[in-house]
Structure 1
């Protein structure tokens, strides 16, 4: 950053000096020249501003927040959280409010007056009901425990997916460094071949070397150029792999930081396989998830057994209704009147009278609100259900739950074996890579001396181009093997660091 700021400041001073010293005849020419120089300046520093190098930690952080596969792995947590809440809410009573409207035609019985009628009848009914489970073989409590364990296991599954992605990012990052170093070696080999070709051409012109040596070196140069092309392609593929893991478009500028990698040393394997395994067994999310799945299956057995217990539920309802045939009958009393009912038998001139109550019955529609209030009624009940025979469903459910429990136990054991085998394999691979690196280093040193001898013999004309080419090719192969064993050791050590609970960094 200091170099970039110094460069920008230097360019600014240069531009200022140029602008102040301009002596063009017109202001327009000065503006045009200044703008042209300014755009050239911006074009010159734009690659520096656009360049952004990524270290391993930045790649891991970016993958954690942008990898689509990791985002998908987080969705089951949300679903399992909802399932846990639902199972907890099952302990509460439910509450439902409802109503309906109906029409009846022809001769029928009014459901609210219980009278026969031939008139059309419109009815409304309303209810408010609740139901609560008092006991059901502890199934609800076991379901809550099971869903809580499932939620926790899904969190560990998410961590495992993130760890897998992190290891893939580390591997892709190391592949970039590895191919970058191979590319540098290939370019250096091409440079050496070109220098040797230039010297050989001068010797041929002086008559000190045969012309066939030129063609051997031209062939060697073409081979070096092919190696550069192959190394560039491998480096591009390594960058592509890392970009895909980070969900970065191919066109976006991207460059990683090349860290200082120390030489492989077997003494760095200070921990034993057993000590690494003991840490991994208590920290790896896939092992924790597998153990929780055993607990989930055990609760599944308890849930299945709960179906064999009696269940007790309670319910209550409030109901009401309305009928279009509902009426209110009222009696209007107008007092009493005297009414002649006969004559005396011995004297027809004398009448016999009685008092008659004068009453009138008034019939009118019963309003909707009054009917709803008058028809209001309540019910409450307790239900007992005892399973006696359900066509073997309960027994089969228990048997299947026990099979699932055994499957989860074996799966947990298998995951433990896989993790331990991965640690053992990485440990042995790291030791082998360290020893291979040491052997390749001795090999490179020896072949370097051989190449120097063959080069000197070739320069003085004591050796031929064929022996010189063989010595060079052997050295090139040895250098490639040395680099490969170096980064094989680095990657295996990162795997061991991961299982040992150490931070992934260079």
Structure 2
């Protein structure tokens, strides 16, 4: 049992250590951002809202069904709701109603609203896709910035090891009287400058990692790190495409233009909906209602003990003889209320019919709404045109940037090769005592700067190529690094 506990304890420690030492790949970072980014989640809520709008538009085609009821109790002089007799009492009364309504014609507004809901949902989905592309680019840029800082730090640390070796070697040569002490001081100053640069690079790396972690909503900044291997320049066919091909593909695939096109269609539907208010509307209705009261009432009934009474009803003018008539002898008596369900059945009623509304004058509201809709259409068309121009400009700019980044990378490669040869030559001359420490330090500094420039140019070119691939229509999850 103890062995099992120890084994589990070691396993938990190993798992936690592995979790803390986890290094994120670019693909993992992008997927994590797409699943957890707040802006993306807000765009997903917009898609859900568009679904609700579509459901509401579908509901306009369905009849309405409403039920209502009320219960009241009145004390004092009141009217019986059934007999309409005035009486002083405490009366409990209840009413119930069911109404059904259905719109037969409303100027086709319900059809237009459903079409608008479909377009609105499509626009929300385009906006969500655009947000995902933007977030993926932010993540890729942040990730490549971390890699750049890592490469710069590695280069600086590696070169500092060489400087430390040179300090030991120079110290030995100074003690042997081969080199002056000034050379040792120069190398030590170079070492101090390199250590300062390493501290700056370490700080830049830490900040870039924290920025990327914040973008991914990861709170464990201390243990967050990324994989820094396997990210080389891949020969991409995208670099062989002409700018015209890229612009044409971008117009077909990018969501910026799709969103603008959807907004134009939405504006057109709004105009159709506004115009529908010019037409009459026709609706049908059906209602059922009933009522109940516990109030007592008075009713007239024939007196069974004396059912007939005789009364004089007139006089014969010629003879003066009285005319006698017989009438039923009725008396008033209190009647108790009928049972609840009997009253519900006895007092119910129905109503049904058609209702026609014809717009005649409404303070220019409909006319002004139509004018506003027309203006919105023109505005949305301008925005579409601007979106197309911006897209062309952005693609062209990205194309030029990618070409320029490639040239900068190739130039940086040649610069590193040249500076490396120059540095090695200066090192050999310094080791042989032919040149002084200052010239050697300057050559080494130029070589270090060339390496840092190469790292920056490399990852800048990778990022610019990925931007072009997105414009060309490559899905963000299929980008290769």
TM-score range, shorter chain: 0.7 to 0.9
**Counterpart mapping for 1:7-18 below 5 A:** none
Q: Structure 1 pair 41/461, CA: closer, same or farther in 2 (3 Å)?
A: farther
**C-alpha deviation, 1:259, in angstroms:** 3.7
**Counterpart mapping for 1:433-472 below 5 A:** 433-472=405-444
Q: Which one scores higher on RCO, CA 8 angstroms, separation ≥ 6?
A: 2
**Counterpart mapping for 1:283-302 below 5 A:** 283-302=253-272
**Counterpart mapping for 1:254-273 below 5 A:** 254-262=224-232, 269-273=239-243
**C-alpha deviation, 1:294, in angstroms:** 1.1
Q: In the alignment, does 2:474 pair up with 1:504?
A: no
Q: In the alignment, does 2:218 pair up with 1:210?
A: no
Q: Structure 1 pair 228/264, CA: closer, same or farther in 2 (3 Å)?
A: farther
Q: In the alignment, does 2:338 pair up with 1:363?
A: no
2:316 maps to what in 1? Answer: none
**C-alpha deviation, 1:212, in angstroms:** 0.9
Deviations 1:43-97 (A, max 9, x none): 8997567532322222222222222322222111111211211121122221111
**C-alpha deviation, 1:190, in angstroms:** 0.1
Contact in 2 for aligned 1:336/1:358 (Cα 8 Å): yes
Contact in 2 for aligned 1:338/1:354 (Cα 8 Å): no
Q: Max radius of gyration: which structure?
A: 1
**Equivalent residue for 1:232, pick from 199, 202, 206:** 202
2:318 maps to what in 1? Answer: none
Contact in 2 for aligned 1:264/1:437 (Cα 8 Å): no
Counterpart-to-counterpart distance in 2, 1:111 and 1:356: 31
User: Mind listing any 5+ residue stretches in structure 2 that lack a counterpart?
Assistant: 312-323
**Equivalent residue for 1:59, pick from 18, 29, 33:** 29
1:384 maps to what in 2? Answer: 356
Counterpart-to-counterpart distance in 1, 2:285 and 2:93: 25
Deviations 1:145-192 (A, max 9, x none): 111211111111111111111111111121122111111110111011
**Equivalent residue for 1:221, pick from 187, 191, 196:** 191
Contact in 2 for aligned 1:337/1:355 (Cα 8 Å): no
2:400 maps to what in 1? Answer: 428
**Equivalent residue for 2:365, pick from 383, 393, 401:** 393
Farther-moved stretch of structure 1 (362-371 vs 123-132) = 362-371
**Counterpart mapping for 1:106-505 below 5 A:** 109-119=79-89, 121-251=91-221, 253-262=223-232, 269-325=239-295, 327=297, 329=299, 331=301, 334=304, 362-367=333-338, 368-502=340-474, 503-505=478-480
Coordinate RMSD, CA, aligned? 3.3
Paired residues, number: 463
Contact in 1 for aligned 2:209/2:221 (Cα 8 Å): no
Deviations 1:402-426 (A, max 9, x none): 1222222222222222222222112
**Equivalent residue for 2:64, pick from 68, 83, 94:** 94
Normalising by structure 1, report the TM-score: 0.82
Counterpart-to-counterpart distance in 2, 1:237 and 1:75: 32
Contact in 1 for aligned 2:99/2:285 (Cα 8 Å): yes
Counterpart-to-counterpart distance in 1, 2:55 and 2:389: 35
Contact in 1 for aligned 2:73/2:91 (Cα 8 Å): yes
Counterpart-to-counterpart distance in 1, 2:61 and 2:412: 69
Q: In the alignment, does 2:41 pair up with 1:74?
A: no
SS at the partner of 2:98?
strand
